[in-house]
Structure formats: C-alpha cells, structure tokens
Structure 1
Amino acid sequence: MKLDERRPAEHRLSVVYRVGAGVTGLLLIAFGVLGLLIRLPLFDTEGQVIAGLSTNGALSLISVTVGSLLVGGAIIGGTFASTLNITVGIAFVASGLVNLAVMETDYNLLAFRIPNVIFSFAVGLMVMTFGMYGRVSGGLPHDNPFWRQRHGLPRPPDGEAEPQPRRVSTIGLSE
C-alpha cells in the first residue's frame, strides 16, 4: 500500500500523531537523561530504579534515542509521524516480549524487571494506537486521506471542494 505523502501536515489527524509522539518522546528522554546523570554502568544486569523502572546505561541511551526519534516525528508530522508511531509501538511490544524471556538470565542486558515489561507493553500499545488513529478503521470519513488513497481518489487541489463519492444503499441502488 502506497501512502499519500502529499497530505498537508496541518490535517486534523496529524494532531493525534504529533501530540502522541511528542509527549511520549519527552517522557522517554526525561527517563533516559535521569539514568545518564547517575552514570550507570552500560550493561549492568541489576540496574538501578528510576521513576519506578529499572535502568542501566544502555537502556538510558536507548530511551533518549527513541524519545528523540518520536519528538522528531512529532515535529515532522503527517504520514511520517503515523508510520513512525506504528513502528515504534511494535518495537516496544516486541522489546517487552524479548526482555520478558531473558529477564532472569545473564542476557538481561537492559536490566528489565516486570514493571519495565508492563511499561513497554503499555507504551507500545499506546504509541501504536496513536499511529493507527484515523488510518486503520472500517468507518473512515470520505475526506480522510487514507480512505481516499484506498479508494483510488486523488487528493483535491488546495482550496477546491472535495468531490463526494456516490452512496450506495444496501440493495445496491444509488441514492
């Protein structure tokens, strides 16, 4: 599926992608910076608890990096922010699953504990939902850029009224 990259950044759906990505990114940056200020060892499997979550130097660096990526997506907006949110959300859920599997082993390189796994699942689902908002649904309005793209309708030139598609009744006759 090819997405409409020409969609204006100020489209009302972009607000959800931007706010969701921006707030989540800022929280991740704050968490990561707190971990970096303590100068935690890079791959300490025990970690130290900050804001209720266990962290080490590697997890702090990853948090700042992913948070910066989400803030960047919030600044860019549009389809990029939506796709970025979906991708980061999937990565968070996958990270929760992987770290749940290695939690009590020597491979727990990010010092994850159960609160970290729950946080990873919750943030992943939340960010994924932000990205899917207005993009994945059976009842999208006809002015939605994703609906228009799926139905092969071109984006109307700026300032022109959008053509309304024909409505079809349940018995197949045009209304």
Structure 2
Amino acid sequence: MASHAAPRRTHRSDRSPHGTSSGLRLDEHLPVDHRLSTFYRFGAGLMGVVLIVFGILGVIDHVGFFDTGGDTVAGLNTNGALSWLSIGVGLLLLVGMVMGGNFASTLNMGLGVLFVASGFLNLALLNTDNNVLAFKIQNVLFSFVVGILLMFFGMYGRVSGTLPHDNPYWRHRHPDADGAGGSEDAVHRREIT
C-alpha cells in the first residue's frame, strides 16, 4: 500500500524575491498586516518620544556621565549615562514604530519586561555606590510605569484568554475553526482530507 505525501505548499513569505527559499524566519508563525499594528506602532512611538525627550533634556543640562548628584530633569534624577541610554532605547522604539506589526509588538513586550526588571534592580541599588545611573525612587516608579505601559502596548489584542474570533492571533491559534479563515496550510490540509 503506497501512500502519497502531498507536497508542502510554500508561502509567498517563505520565498525571497528570486523565488527561492529565504530560510528560517522567527516571526513566520505570527499573523501579519492586521489592524492591531497601528496600536503597536502608537505605543512604541509614544514611549520612544518620551524617552528621547527625557534623554535630550539630560544631555542639554551637561550632567556628568556617571554623576550621582541630585541633577533632575522633568522631576527625575539623571546623569549622562542615563540620558544617553534613554535616547538609545527611545530610538530603538522609534525603529519599532516604523517597522510596526509583530516586530513592534514583540519589541514593546521585551522592553517592557526589561524596564520592570530595571526598576527592581535599581530599587535594590538605591543609596549604594553601584547606583551608576543615579536612580532615585521616582526613577524606579517611572521605570515600572514605562515597563507596564510598554507591555500593555505589546500584549494588547495578542495575549488573552478571551480574544474575539476575528482577532488574527485567535485565528492563528485555531486554524480549523469554522469561519476563522486559517492559514494556507490549514486550508490545504482540509482540501486533502
């Protein structure tokens, strides 16, 4: 008894412009071009601009690079290292805003977790000689708030037990559900059986 295996249909996204396979893509399993991309872009852009403005105000004040004095900008303690770090992370978020989609969502979630972790780490380093970013308690709270907002902007419409059935992430997780659309492979599997 011979069994025939159906050839794997290659998605357009799996091919390079020359028609050959482009290799492994990490975000291949995620839905693309959905209306949530605008929300992810907005979140990345908003948080990026806030961090860049804070960083630029710190750089303009000519604060020492690792100065741990009481230099404040917009109510937050800062030094040159924190200012330049803020500008760098803000620019990274603006890149996420430009790219949008799953990249912006994943970037928002990842940086959100890092901001919350930074808040806890710097909370432990308050009033020690290792407080090289000159954090005070208001900086720790700001780090927590920015981290939670970034995680919200990254997870919205993507992580929940009660996603609506027209959500692209729900459809991706339930490709065989009636009316969900599914991926080309799921449709192809249904045609074969």
Residue 36 of structure 2 corresponds to 13
Residue 118 of structure 2 corresponds to 95
Could you tell me which of 45, 64, 74 is aligned with 1:41? Answer: 64
Shift of the alpha carbon at 1:83?
Answer: 0.2
Question: Residue 4 of structure 1 aligns to which amino acid in structure 2?
Answer: H
1:39-118 matches, within 5 Å, as 39-118=62-141
Structure 1 spans left out of the alignment, 5+ residues: 157-162, 164-175
Residue 168 of structure 2 corresponds to 145
Shift of the alpha carbon at 1:40?
Answer: 1.5
Q: Distance in 1 between matches of 2:42 and 2:174?
A: 28
Q: Does 1:155 align with 2:183?
A: yes
CA contact (8 A) 1:145 1:155 kept: no
Shift of the alpha carbon at 1:3?
Answer: 5.6
Provide TM-score, normalisation by structure 1. Answer: 0.82
Deviations 1:1-52 (A, max 9, x none): 96635511xx221121111110110010000011111221111122510000
Residue 4 of structure 1 corresponds to 29
* Structure 2 counterpart SS, 1:16: helix
Shift of the alpha carbon at 1:80?
Answer: 0.3
Aligned length: 155
Question: Residue 43 of structure 1 aligns to which amino acid in structure 2?
Answer: F
Structure 2 spans left out of the alignment, 5+ residues: 1-25, 177-181, 188-193
Shift of the alpha carbon at 1:155?
Answer: 3.5
Q: Distance in 1 between matches of 2:66 and 2:141?
A: 21
Shift of the alpha carbon at 1:151?
Answer: 2.2
Residue 23 of structure 2 corresponds to none
* Structure 2 counterpart SS, 1:4: coil
Provide TM-score, normalisation by structure 2. Answer: 0.75
Q: Distance in 1 between matches of 2:110 and 2:159?
A: 14
Change in CA separation of 1:128 and 1:136 when aligned onto 2, cut-off 3 Å: same
Question: Residue 28 of structure 1 aligns to which amino acid in structure 2?
Answer: L
Question: Residue 41 of structure 1 aligns to which amino acid in structure 2?
Answer: G
Percentage of identical aligned residues:
55
Question: Residue 119 of structure 1 aligns to which amino acid in structure 2?
Answer: F
Q: 1 or 2 for the larger relative contact order (CA 8 Å, sep ≥6)?
A: 1
